């Protein structure tokens, strides 16, 4: 007999006043005898019962036990109830006990006291094991931090790495950051518009079935993109220590595609490159060529789409051990097949910054910097800018301390000034916090003074580039220390030009102008007292950049600029037709709408027709996009033959 039935019997006997007192002790025996008689009278029913029903019986008893515990009065303990029932008489077993006869008796009932104590102990042990009491405390702390407007500092360690360059995958895609800025509804509506094929596909009469491309970390491919053509793959070259070295390789069956592209590139034949892209829509070099063409023609969205398409194809070719979440990887820029990925990722980083997704640009820059320790694209000269724009001030200080480089990072112009800016915002945002926590660190004004003493040439370039039109800057630049400042080496001059071109927009904020002005005035006052300090800093500058050659000549200053040169408008105007006419607005998807090549692209498609020989290659390409223009045959020879006839 179960403990639930015992409690029910005792409760009902308390409610009934009649009956001899001696029947209280024999009530349990009567019930058990009736159950035994009923089971003996119907052995067939018991034998035919499904043995799996015993599991349901246990669940039912557990549920009914919970209901009884909630409904009954818990003010009196169970042993006290049992003692009180022995003094109260009862005459018969109530009718409510008949329901319990349908269940088979499973051994003797355990003592109620031990059952209750066991339940309490098990509940305490479960709560202790799960640490449930700690979770609400942590949630409350995070909520208070959000309410105070502070950024929650979380460790961005991912699978397999604990480096300062560890990448947070949720910040890689621009869509996630735009959802945090503008909301999900706005971003979803834009994505739906993007997934709808353009009108150029309808005019050309080509219908393509929408499908779902594979999910990638860097970009979100639209549904109308064709399936990945598996043109490239990635091989593991070698493993040195904990680093795995990889390289992109072309599939042997289509190895001639790169030769066709190189031949078309040497001949400046954009039609041939378009033919290669029509046959192989995910050829990286062809996509990057079209991306540059769209960028110089002012079609930045089409250029960004071509770059994303290139990244999608290259990411699909990743080795299982390669990726931003794997940690220990190297993709050397010295291999020609690896260069398109560096170029595409660098362009994608700039496009993210242009869209205002600075945190996503920071994650892309971290990924780019971790690919090759030699930093062939100069990610080190813009990573501090993205950190400042995304308000990752503490991470920037941690990065400057932990990142291993030939020189200390604060010796570079961008880091010397950016660390002062980061410290300024940390001091401003943490004014109410304990000052002793930052007592061992230099103040923002001291860091700015060091930056001005180390790189005084930056000040005059910022005043001209920003520009800073306050009359006080004229007086400051008249000082001999700032007015006659010289870089000292070609490498330093080139790095300063890159910094000014990339960071000048930061100095348009009034609070930073005041910080810079205050630090410049303090530098002038300190030099009046001790002029030898300037010579000491000049020695440090010469020691840090001692090379007589420009070590960063491979980095173009224009690559770090927000402005993009374009073709002359008078040359583009005749060809700047609407998106529905197949002009430049049709985007990188135009390769999907071109008629398919019936036979393999060969050397014959690389021949330049007489009509386009000697003309501007970009203009010829834009003209070829018009639906009524066809350079398929040499019409000039046919016209001469007709005139002779």
In angstroms, rounded to a whole number, what is the distance separating the alpha carbons of residues 285 and 276? 10
488 close to 535: Cβ distance less than 8 angstroms = no
Q: Residue 461 has what pLDDT? A: 95
616 close to 570: Cβ distance less than 8 angstroms = no
SS3 assignment, position 12:
helix
Count of C-beta atoms within a 10 Å radius of residue 267: 15
Q: Degrees (nearest 5) of the Cα angle 93, 99, 101?
A: 80
In angstroms, rounded to a whole number, what is the distance separating the alpha carbons of residues 291 and 347? 9
Q: Residue 579 has what pLDDT? A: 33
In angstroms, rounded to a whole number, what is the distance separating the alpha carbons of residues 366 and 324? 9
End-to-end alpha carbon distance in the chain:
117
How is residue 227 annotated by DSSP? P
For residue 248, list its beta bridge partners: 234
232 close to 251: Cβ distance less than 8 angstroms = yes
Q: What is the helix (H) or strand (E) element at residue 330, kind and residue range?
A: strand 329-331
In angstroms, rounded to a whole number, what is the distance separating the alpha carbons of residues 623 and 575? 6
SS (H, E, C) 57-73: HHHHHHHHHHHHHHHCC
Count of C-beta atoms within a 10 Å radius of residue 175: 15
Q: What is the helix (H) or strand (E) element at residue 245, kind and residue range?
A: strand 243-250
Q: Residue 417 has what pLDDT? A: 97
In angstroms, rounded to a whole number, what is the distance separating the alpha carbons of residues 468 and 476? 12
CA nearest 247: which of 262, 236, 256, 232?
Answer: 236
In angstroms, rounded to a whole number, what is the distance separating the alpha carbons of residues 74 and 86? 19
Q: What are the structure tokens assigned to 392, written together? A: 């990752």
Q: What is the helix (H) or strand (E) element at residue 305, kind and residue range?
A: helix 300-316
Count of C-beta atoms within a 10 Å radius of residue 431: 8
SS3 assignment, position 217:
coil
For residue 158, list its beta bridge partners: 161
455 close to 440: Cβ distance less than 8 angstroms = no
Write 191-194 long-range contacts (CB < 8 A, 24+): 191/220, 194/222
In angstroms, rounded to a whole number, what is the distance separating the alpha carbons of residues 634 and 624? 15
Backbone angles phi, psi at 562, to 5 degrees: -80, -25
How is residue 161 annotated by DSSP? B
114 close to 26: Cβ distance less than 8 angstroms = no
How is residue 597 annotated by DSSP? P
Q: Residue 566 has what pLDDT? A: 72
Q: Residue 182 has what pLDDT? A: 79
Q: In what order do the strands lie in the sheet with 329-331?
A: 232-240, 243-250, 329-331
171 close to 363: Cβ distance less than 8 angstroms = yes
Whose structure tokens read 């916090």? 433
SS (H, E, C) 280-293: CCCCHHHHHHHHHH
459 close to 520: Cβ distance less than 8 angstroms = yes
Q: What is the helix (H) or strand (E) element at residue 266, kind and residue range?
A: helix 256-266
381 close to 495: Cβ distance less than 8 angstroms = yes
Q: Residue 109 has what pLDDT? A: 45
585 close to 578: Cβ distance less than 8 angstroms = yes
Helices within 17-52 (DSSP H only): 23-41, 43-47
Backbone angles phi, psi at 24, to 5 degrees: -65, -35
552 close to 495: Cβ distance less than 8 angstroms = yes
In angstroms, rounded to a whole number, what is the distance separating the alpha carbons of residues 183 and 176? 10
How is residue 320 annotated by DSSP? T
SS3 assignment, position 225:
coil
Q: What is the helix (H) or strand (E) element at residue 261, kind and residue range?
A: helix 256-266
In angstroms, rounded to a whole number, what is the distance separating the alpha carbons of residues 276 and 192? 29
Q: Residue 285 has what pLDDT? A: 96
CA nearest 287: which of 196, 219, 202, 204?
Answer: 219
In angstroms, rounded to a whole number, what is the distance separating the alpha carbons of residues 65 and 57? 12
CA nearest 200: which of 191, 192, 208?
Answer: 208
601 close to 260: Cβ distance less than 8 angstroms = yes
In angstroms, rounded to a whole number, what is the distance separating the alpha carbons of residues 131 and 143? 20
| Pairing label, strands 329-331, 243-250 | parallel
pLDDT mean for each 10 residues of the chain (645 residues):
70 62 42 44 47 50 46 41 42 44 44 49 50 38 38 35 79 87 76 57 42 80 89 94 93 91 88 91 94 88 94 95 86 95 97 94 95 94 96 95 87 96 93 56 94 95 92 93 90 96 95 96 93 91 91 94 72 39 36 37 40 64 58 48 49
Report how far Cα 45 is from the mean position of its chain's Cα atoms. Answer: 65
Cis check for the bond before 467: say yes or no (omega within 30 of 0). yes
pTM for the predicted model, two decimal places:
0.65
181 close to 356: Cβ distance less than 8 angstroms = yes
């Amino acid at each position: 007999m179960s403990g639930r039935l015992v409690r029910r019997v005792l409760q009902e006997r308390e409610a009934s006043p009649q009956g001899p007192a001696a029947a209280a002790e024999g009530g349990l025996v009567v019930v058990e005898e009736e159950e035994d008689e009923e089971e003996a009278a119907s052995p067939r029913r018991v034998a035919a019962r499904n043995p799996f029903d015993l599991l349901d019986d246990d669940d039912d008893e557990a549920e009914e036990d919970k209901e009884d515990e909630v409904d009954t009065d818990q003010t009196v303990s169970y042993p006290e109830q049992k003692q009180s029932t022995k003094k109260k008489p009862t005459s018969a077993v109530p009718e409510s006990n008949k329901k319990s006869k349908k269940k088979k008796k499973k051994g003797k009932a355990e003592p109620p006291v031990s059952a209750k104590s066991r339940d309490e102990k098990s509940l305490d042990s479960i709560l202790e094991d799960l640490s449930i009491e700690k979770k609400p405390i942590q949630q409350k702390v995070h909520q208070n931090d959000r309410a105070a407007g502070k950024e929650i500092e979380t460790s961005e360690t991912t699978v397999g790495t604990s480096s300062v360059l560890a990448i947070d995958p949720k910040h890689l895609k621009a869509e996630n950051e735009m959802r945090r800025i503008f909301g999900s509804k706005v971003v979803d509506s834009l994505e739906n518009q993007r997934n709808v094929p353009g009108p150029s596909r309808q005019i050309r009469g080509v219908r393509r079935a929408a499908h779902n491309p594979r999910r990638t970390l860097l970009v979100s491919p639209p549904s109308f993109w064709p399936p990945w053509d598996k043109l490239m793959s990635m091989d593991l070259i070698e493993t040195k220590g904990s680093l795995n070295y990889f390289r992109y390789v072309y599939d042997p069956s289509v190895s001639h595609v790169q030769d066709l592209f190189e031949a078309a590139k040497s001949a400046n034949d954009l039609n041939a490159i378009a033919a290669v892209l029509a046959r192989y829509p995910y050829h990286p070099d062809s996509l990057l060529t079209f991306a540059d063409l769209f960028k110089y023609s002012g079609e930045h969205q089409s250029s960004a789409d071509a770059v994303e398409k290139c990244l999608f194809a290259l990411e699909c070719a990743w080795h299982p051990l390669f990726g931003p979440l794997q940690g220990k990887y190297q993709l050397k820029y010295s291999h020609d097949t690896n260069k398109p990925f560096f170029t595409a990722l660098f362009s994608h980083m700039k496009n993210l910054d242009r869209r205002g997704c600075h945190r996503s640009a920071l994650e892309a820059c971290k990924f780019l910097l971790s690919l090759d320790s030699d930093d062939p694209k100069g990610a080190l000269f813009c990573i501090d800018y993205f950190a400042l724009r995304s308000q990752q001030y503490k991470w920037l200080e941690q990065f400057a301390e932990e990142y291993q480089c030939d020189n200390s990072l604060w010796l570079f112009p961008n880091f010397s000034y950016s660390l002062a800016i980061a410290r300024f915002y940390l001091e401003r945002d943490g004014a109410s916090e304990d000052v002793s926590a930052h007592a061992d660190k230099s103040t923002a004004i001291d860091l700015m003074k060091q930056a001005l003493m180390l790189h005084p040439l930056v000040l005059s370039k910022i005043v001209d580039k920003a520009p800073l039109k306050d009359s006080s800057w004229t007086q400051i630049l008249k000082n001999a220390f700032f007015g006659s400042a010289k870089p000292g080496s070609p490498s330093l001059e080139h790095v300063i030009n890159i910094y000014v071109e990339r960071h000048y927009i930061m100095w348009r904020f009034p609070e930073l102008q005041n910080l810079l002005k205050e630090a410049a005035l303090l530098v002038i006052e300190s030099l009046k007292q001790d002029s030898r300090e300037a010579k000491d800093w000049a020695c440090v500058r010469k020691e840090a950049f001692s090379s007589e050659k420009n070590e960063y000549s491979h980095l173009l200053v224009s690559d770090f600029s927000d402005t993009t040169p374009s073709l002359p408008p008078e040359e583009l105007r005749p060809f700047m037709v609407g998106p529905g006419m197949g002009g430049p607005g049709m985007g990188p998807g135009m390769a999907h709408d071109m008629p398919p090549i019936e036979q393999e692209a060969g050397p014959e498609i690389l021949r330049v027709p007489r009509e386009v020989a000697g003309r501007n290659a970009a203009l010829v390409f834009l003209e070829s996009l018009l639906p009524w223009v066809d350079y398929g045959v040499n019409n000039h020879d046919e016209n001469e033959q007709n005139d002779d006839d």
